[in-house]
């Protein structure tokens, strides 16, 4: 299947997730345009009555109805804006959740710098597709049909002018749009490379300055930006070319109708129904001619939004797995009964670690501690068990076997805390968790008193510019996030490292509580106090393994 086909399927899948909202928005947009056609008809009648010779009396009933239609159109516009906001929120939520779930599933892997723009550029490009292009598809069919029906009823010759010119617009729009899709896809690929280069150079700015390579980095960023500018200009060139073609054919058709109506009203010709043309029919024909082309012209403009959306979707689909899968916020609770590590061989970069194949079991409510010298491979073993790093041989079996390694909570030595609110940090583990669940897990992790001291509760900002946490509090916050997830498996790397005696005792007490609650725990540690609360020790000594019941 081609990338374009996958991109179309992605847009269709996203659309299905908020199809009801999209249908309501489409109905509002079509209704507003139909109301405009009625508004124009009433205005033509009023003008023909006031300044023409068709009637002698002031049409107060028509004026009242015209004002009512004006108010109705205004109200529909307000509803359209509100439903557009709802659709925008749902579209961004659906896309962002898929990207965040992908990041969560690959948390242990090296994420490319270019993925920093996944939540910005592609989402903004697809937004116009759902908000403008999709509703306009229906408007560009319904409104021209309504207008051409009225025009043929009034004057079939004017209707033929519009009818013969209409097919030329979609034809040229399709020809130009074929190239626009490829250009927009190239646009997003270039933007990704520019973002990658810029972020990489900023992260390594100290090294570049030490080796006096700042000028080289600046020139490289300039060259990448210049390539991005050129792609942008090509995209704009295509957009302006298509607009010029559309405006030309639209102007010719409207001019033909205007000449025909003008000469008919002046009495210069009486071809067909021209001899029976009145002020009202003439004005209405002139005012409806632009309205026949306006939806098609707007659709042509929004067709570029479709090209941009396909380019963005094609770029996303190559880096994010949007296939329906069980996510942290949707799945039922995992109750793992045991983990079996069978003849596991570790390694990275194509090389095996100098370890014998590793085998051990840990059951529900049990705790295994991995010990050994620094650098022997304890952290690598934990990451491999958690599914964050591929094994060289052997396997990690989770019972029941329906569960995968995604059901494992991995707690590194330095837990990751994003710069955001306390609630946002918990949403990383469970996007759909409630405030009550967060508070309960904080209390379970021994952070109840800390929560009561927070200035803004769950809205308290964590990070360098916000509320600071000690090392022990960070580790317990990581445990609280594990508690709110749907798994009862915890793989913990050095839980008491860099903690004073008081905070280390709190963490050890927490380990005992997790065991009592039926958690399956695998810990790497040098701490004798941690060893004392575990059931089994796997000692890694050089190339040998030793299993000891504690």
- CA 404-408-410 angle, 5° bins: 145
Instruction: Please check whether the domain covering 3-317 is classified as CATH 1.20.5.510.
Output: no
Q: Which residues contact 399 (CB under 8 A, 6 or more apart)?
A: 336, 337, 338, 339, 340
Highest mean pLDDT: which range of 141-150, 231-240, 269-278, 327-336? 141-150
Q: Which residues contact 391 (CB under 8 A, 6 or more apart)?
A: 344, 345, 346, 384
What's this model's pTM, rounded to 2 decimal places?
A: 0.56
Q: Is the separation of the CB atoms in 108 and 410 below 8 Å?
A: yes
CA–CA gap between residue 363 and residue 338 (Å, rounded): 4
Q: Is the separation of the CB atoms in 396 and 385 below 8 Å?
A: yes
Q: Is the separation of the CB atoms in 527 and 533 below 8 Å?
A: no
Q: What DSSP letter does each residue of 338-369 carry, written as one string?
A: EEEEEEEE-EETTEE-S-PPEEEEEETT-EEE
Highest mean pLDDT: which range of 37-41, 192-196, 388-392, 409-413? 37-41
Residue 215 falls in which region: left (phi positive, over 0), alpha (psi -120 to 50) or beta? alpha
Q: Which residues contact 326 (CB under 8 A, 6 or more apart)?
A: none
Q: Count CB neighbours of 467 within 10 A.
A: 15
Residue 47's H or E segment, with its range, is helix 19-51
Of 519, 102, 100, 522, which is closest to residue 333 (Cα–Cα)?
519
Of 246, 250, 285, 234, which is closest to residue 264 (Cα–Cα)?
285
For the chain, the structural domain boundaries read 3-317, 338-549
Q: Is the separation of the CB atoms in 49 and 58 below 8 Å?
A: yes
pLDDT tens for each residue of 503-539: 788 788 888 888 888 888 888 888 888 888 888 888 8
CA–CA gap between residue 544 and residue 205 (Å, rounded): 43
Q: Please say whether the dihedral angle defined by the alpha carbons of residues 318, 324, 326 and 328, taken in this order, is positive or negative.
A: positive
What is the mean predicted confidence (pLDDT) over 47-54?
Answer: 72
Does the pLDDT of residue 184 top 70, yes or no?
Answer: no
- Name residue 369's beta-bridge partners: 523, 537
Q: Is the separation of the CB atoms in 44 and 280 below 8 Å?
A: yes
- Report pLDDT for 325: 44
What is the mean predicted confidence (pLDDT) over 255-273?
Answer: 84
pLDDT tens for each residue of 73-130: 999 999 999 999 998 888 887 777 777 666 655 544 444 545 556 666 677 778 888 8
CA–CA gap between residue 538 and residue 550 (Å, rounded): 10
Surface-to-core class of residue 462, CB atoms within 10 Å of its CB (0-12 exposed, 13-18 middle, 19+ buried): buried
Q: Which CATH architecture has domain 338-549?
A: 3-Layer(aba) Sandwich (3.40)
pLDDT band, very low/low/confident/very high, at 225 (cuts 50, 70, 90): confident
Residue with tokens 């990581």: 478
488 secondary structure, DSSP code: -
- Report pLDDT for 65: 93
């Amino acid at each position: 299947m081609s990338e374009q086909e996958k991109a179309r399927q992605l847009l269709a899948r996203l659309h299905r997730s908020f199809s009801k909202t999209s249908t309501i928005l489409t109905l509002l947009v079509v209704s507003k345009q139909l109301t405009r056609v009625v508004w124009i008809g009433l205005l033509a009648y009023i003008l023909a009555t006031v300044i023409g010779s068709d009637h002698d009396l002031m049409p107060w009933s028509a004026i009242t109805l015209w004002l009512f239609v004006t108010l109705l159109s205004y109200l529909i516009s307000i509803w359209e804006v509100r439903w557009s906001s709802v659709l925008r929120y749902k579209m961004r939520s659906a896309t962002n959740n898929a990207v965040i779930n992908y990041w969560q599933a690959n948390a242990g892997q090296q994420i490319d710098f270019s993925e920093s723009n996944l939540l910005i550029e592609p989402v903004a490009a697809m937004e116009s597709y759902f908000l403008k292009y999709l509703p306009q598809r229906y408007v560009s069919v319904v409104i021209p049909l309504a207008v051409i029906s009225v025009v043929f009823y009034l004057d079939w010759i004017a209707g033929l002018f519009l009818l013969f010119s209409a097919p030329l617009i979609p034809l040229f729009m399709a020809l130009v749009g074929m190239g626009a899709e490829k250009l927009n896809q190239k646009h997003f690929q270039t933007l990704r490379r520019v973002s990658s280069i810029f972020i990489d150079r900023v992260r390594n700015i100290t090294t570049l300055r030490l080796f006096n390579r700042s000028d080289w980095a600046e020139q490289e960023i300039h060259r990448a930006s210049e390539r991005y500018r050129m792609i942008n200009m090509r995209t704009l060139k295509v957009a302006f070319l298509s607009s010029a073609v559309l405006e030309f054919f639209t102007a010719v058709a409207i001019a033909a109708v205007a000449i025909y109506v003008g000469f008919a009203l002046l009495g210069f010709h009486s071809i067909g129904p021209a001899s029976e043309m009145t002020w009202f029919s003439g004005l209405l024909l002139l005012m409806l001619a632009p309205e026949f082309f306006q939806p098609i012209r707007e659709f042509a403009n929004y067709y570029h939004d479709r090209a941009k959306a396909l380019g963005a979707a094609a770029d996303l689909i190559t880096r994010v797995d949007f296939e329906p899968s069980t996510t942290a916020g949707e799945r039922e609770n995992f109750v793992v009964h045991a983990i079996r590590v069978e003849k596991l061989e570790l390694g990275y970069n194509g090389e095996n670690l100098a370890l014998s194949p590793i085998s051990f079991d840990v059951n529900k409510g049990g705790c295994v501690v991995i010990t050994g010298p620094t650098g022997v491979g304890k952290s690598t073993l934990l990451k491999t068990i958690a599914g964050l790093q591929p094994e060289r041989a052997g396997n990690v079996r989770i019972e029941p076997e329906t569960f995968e390694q995604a059901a494992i909570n991995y707690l590194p030595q330095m837990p990751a805390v994003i710069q955001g609110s306390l609630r946002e940090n918990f949403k990383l583990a469970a996007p759909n968790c409630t405030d009550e669940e967060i508070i309960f897990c904080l209390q379970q992790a021994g952070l109840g008193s800390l929560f009561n001291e927070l200035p803004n509760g769950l809205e308290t900002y964590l990070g360098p510019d916000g509320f600071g946490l000690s090392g022990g509090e960070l580790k317990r916050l990581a445990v609280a996030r594990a508690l709110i997830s749907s798994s009862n498996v915890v793989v913990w790397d050095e839980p008491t490292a860099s903690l004073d005696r008081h905070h280390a005792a709190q963490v050890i007490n927490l380990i005992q509580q997790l065991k009592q609650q039926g958690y399956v725990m695998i810990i790497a540690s040098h701490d004798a106090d941690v060893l004392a609360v575990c059931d089994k020790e796997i000692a890694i000594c050089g190339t040998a393994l030793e299993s000891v019941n504690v």
